[in-house]
Amino acid sequence: MSASWKSLAQLDAAVSECRACPRLVEWREHVARTKRAAFADQTYWGRPVPGFGPDDAALAIVGLAPAAHGGNRTGRMFTGDRSGDVLFKALYDVGLASQPTATHRDDGLTLRGTRITAPVHCAPPANKPTPGERDTCRHWLADELALLRPTLKAVVVLGAFGWQALLPVLAEAGWTIPRPRPKFGHDVHITLDGPTPLHLLGCYHVSQQNTFTGKLTPAMLRAVLEQAKGLAGLVGLTATEGNRDA
Ligand code: SF4
């Protein structure tokens, strides 16, 4: 539980050493060895990808799992893939990211009041973790959210998998989940009771499947992030201000 972690930095370091899921360990390391041709000269991270963002974040963005040649290559959530290109551009546009691009761990990008994480920290084959892998990884996210609890006011969940995985984690971290369980949907907004009220917002995942087909447009994503930013109290930020102050 969170009591055993002194800080998010300590938790992040421990996450990145985890080997609890044999199938995912084998896959992430196989991808790191074989690489995509375009990245043949790079050293892949090939390990669990910890959350990214400040330890006093008011807003969390929860995805699915790292991409094989994105986070699993660069070692940072949503960094180095098309999904991340869309997400970070939108975060920059609403003032929550210091720059619109994310290419590698040392590119200087910082997030303002926002932490990006996932219910599964290792890249899964075909982007599909098993329910068992999701459940095995759950405690990392529960501990991360428990550490963020003093400042956390809102969570944006990208996609139905993240939504279903997150609800029990939020319960474990101290928030009350209504019965029946609220269903995922784009633009869904519910408020959970708990140590402090928590706003939960649904958003279609920033996958290429959704963004290429127009199911999720940049304007739709910006609108959810703007709403979440306001609910989290991260008001008064613009792209320029976020850049300057981050
Ligand atoms: S998915 Fe989570 S629990 Fe499984 S090996 Fe990776 S970090 Fe560990």
Probe target for ligand 1 pocket from 12, 45, 121, with the most ligand atoms within 8 Å of CB:
121
Report the percentage of the chain scoring pLDDT > 90: 91
Lowest-confidence pick of 13-22, 192-201, 237-246: 237-246
Nearest to 118 by CA among 58, 53, 176, 74: 53
Nearest to 184 by CA among 155, 210, 206, 163: 163
Q: Is the C-beta atom of 48 inside 6 A of ligand 1?
A: yes
Q: Is the C-beta atom of 15 inside 6 A of ligand 1?
A: yes
Atom nearest to 129 CA in ligand 1 = 1
Show me where the domains of the chain are located: 2-245
Tell me the sheet residues that pair with 189.
Answer: 201
Q: Is the C-beta atom of 62 inside 6 A of ligand 1?
A: no
CB 226 within 8 A of CB 203: no
Per-residue model confidence as pLDDT tens digits over 185-198: 999 999 999 988 99
Which class does domain 2-245 fall in?
alpha beta
| Whether the model pTM is above 0.85 | yes
Contacts 24+ apart (CB under 8 A), 98-101: 98/242, 98/243, 98/246, 99/243
Atom nearest to 136 CA in ligand 1 = 3
